[in-house]
Amino acid sequence: MHKAESILIELENTNLKDRQQLLNFKEIFIEELYEIKGDNVVDFTKIWEWFKPNKEWENIIGLSGKELGTMIFFRVEKWKRNHDFIPGSKVSLNNEFGVVINNSHNDELYGLICWDTKKESDTEDWRGLFDSFLQAGGKVIKQDYEFKFINSDGSRKKSNS
């Protein structure tokens, strides 16, 4: 992330199309970076959002910074998947497997899990309870796990009958 900081500092003196956008992003990025360094409980949510494909980093830096942005995104996403519910994360608890569905609550708390069962609708609400989920034995599983009854977004698979 310090390499990203260096790129932003280098670019601030170039003649970019949207220099003000770069300066604004640089300021909040550096502020967030130093907040993370000082936190006892680190939260990479803002960094994760900024470095998603086609988001702030990529829109401001363009192709020249895409490889670095992708690398940062995947590292932060790996951390985040093991510290918070993320829509699309595949999880298990008590020998059941499921997926965190993209259904937030007021302040964007994720954790509504759609379980891979024969039931037409089998969801469980763990929003805001990631630590409790882990303490109960829950875990994030490999993201290439194949479900029997649901798709990776939590929708029901069509039956072949």
- Global pTM reads 0.59
pLDDT at 108: 65
* Residue ranges per structural domain of the chain: 2-81, 90-140
pLDDT over 90, % of the chain? 38
Q: Which ranges constitute the DSSP H helices of 39-83?
A: 45-50, 56-61, 66-81
pLDDT over 70, % of the chain? 91
Reply yes or no on whether the pLDDT at 120 is more than 90: no
pLDDT tens by residue, 29-83:
998 888 887 765 567 888 888 998 889 999 888 888 889 999 999 888 878 777 7
